[in-house]
C-alpha cells in the first residue's frame, strides 16, 4: 500500500495514503505513517483521496497519530476530497468531532498549515 509525503516547509508535512486501510493495508503503512507523522513537523495534512476502503483499524491509526502530533504541540487535518466513501465513514464514526476533516483542499490546507494550533485534536 503506497504512502508518500511532501514537506511544505520546516513545520508542515502533507502525507498521501492510497489503497485500502484495512488490517493488511494499515499494517503495511503503520510504521512509516507513524514515523512521518512523528517527525519534527508540527502540522500534518493527511490526504485520503486515494483510499478505497477505511476500516476501524485504519481509523485507529489516524486517531493515534493525531493524538501523538497533538502531544507534541501540533495538529493533524484529514483531507478527503471527493472520496465520499471515506468521508462518510469518518463522519459516521464521529471522528469529525475530534479531528478536522475537509473535502475542499483550500480549507484543508488553511486548517492544517495555519499557525494557530489550538483547534486540533
DSSP secondary structure string for all residues of 77-104: EEE-TT-HHHHHHHHHTTGGGTS-EESS
Least confident of 14-18, 96-100, 111-115: 111-115
Pairing between β-strand 3-9 and β-strand 75-79 as defined by DSSP bridges: unpaired
Nearest CA among 50, 63, 52, 41 for reference residue 17: 50
Q: 97 pLDDT exceeds 90? A: no
**pLDDT at position 119, please?**
45
CATH topology of domain 3-113: Transcription Regulator spoIIAA (3.30.750)
pLDDT in tens, 52-93: 999 999 999 999 999 999 998 899 999 999 999 999 999 999
Q: What's this model's pTM, rounded to 2 decimal places? A: 0.91
Q: 39 pLDDT exceeds 90? A: no
Amino acid at each position: 500500500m503506497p504512502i508518500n509525503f511532501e514537506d511544505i516547509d520546516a513545520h508542515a508535512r502533507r502525507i498521501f495514503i492510497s489503497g485500502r486501510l484495512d488490517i493488511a493495508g494499515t499494517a503495511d503503512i503503520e510504521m512509516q505513517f507513524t514515523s512521518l507523522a512523528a517527525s519534527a513537523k508540527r502540522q500534518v495534512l493527511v490526504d485520503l483521496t486515494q483510499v478505497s476502503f477505511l476500516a476501524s483499524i485504519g481509523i485507529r491509526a489516524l486517531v493515534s497519530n493525531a493524538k501523538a502530533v497533538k502531544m507534541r504541540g501540533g495538529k493533524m487535518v484529514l483531507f478527503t476530497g471527493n472520496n465520499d466513501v471515506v468521508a462518510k465513514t469518518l463522519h459516521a464514526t464521529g471522528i469529525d468531532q475530534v479531528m478536522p476533516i475537509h473535502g475542499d483542499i483550500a480549507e484543508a490546507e488553511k486548517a492544517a498549515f495555519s499557525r494557530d494550533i489550538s483547534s486540533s485534536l
